[in-house]
Amino acid sequence: MLETLLAVCKAGASFDQRGWMLATAGNLSVRDTKDAAHYYVSASGLQKGDLHPTQDFVRMGLGMRTPPVHPKVSAETIVHDQLYAAFDGIASIQHVHAPRMTLISRVIGAGNIWEIEGLEYIKALGFWGEGDIVRIPVVLNHHHIPDLAEAVVAAAHKDTRVPGVLVEGHGVYAWGDSVAAARRHVEAIEFLADICWEERFRS
């Protein structure tokens, strides 16, 4: 498990260096490799570029209330919890506030779909077919976090091939069957957002 948590720390450091998790923003998690009913999530209020694998994660059980202990976890842990409960194949969830995807989410708006086609980089999201179109949903940034969790999970169910959901004005929840896959999906979504912003939305 230590090696897996180290991989999560490396992802956090990379995202932080790129400006995607500044000012303690975002949260990262990974399912327990020995017990699928539990997962580890980054503690709240920490710089994600400086995470320590044995000190800065909290082990949670599916459906567990956020424990009132130190270190505390973000209220958004419930989003991770509900995604793990809904999809057995998810091994890691990474929530970042990268700039381009946040801008794209605002332009497209909650309740709409960001359609991406004709770009080679959709292969990084698992779309290899000729003429494939990636449809990433955008959900409302609910301030009541259980409502946000419900919205993200419902959107994820609409097309289970798409490994991420945008939250309007907030960022992305992306996931994968490994820490490396979830990280790749975050990176690909931000790259695609950058291209689409320059091509279609920049005024």
Q: Is the dihedral of CA 8, 9, 10, 15 positive or negative?
A: positive
Tokens of 55: 């000190």
Q: With 70 as the cut, is the pLDDT of residue 64 above it?
A: yes
Domain count within the chain: 1
- Residue-wise pLDDT tens digits, 125-165: 999 999 999 999 999 999 999 999 999 999 999 999 999 99
List the domain range (segments joined by +) for residue 182. Answer: 2-201
Q: Considering the entire predicted model, what is its pTM?
A: 0.95
State the average pLDDT over residues 67-95.
Answer: 89
Token pair for 79:
């989003």
189-201 mean pLDDT: 92
Contact between 38 and 59 under an 8 Å Cβ cutoff? The reply is yes
152: domain CATH number is: 3.40.225.10
- Whole-number average pLDDT of the chain: 94
pLDDT given at position 100 = 96
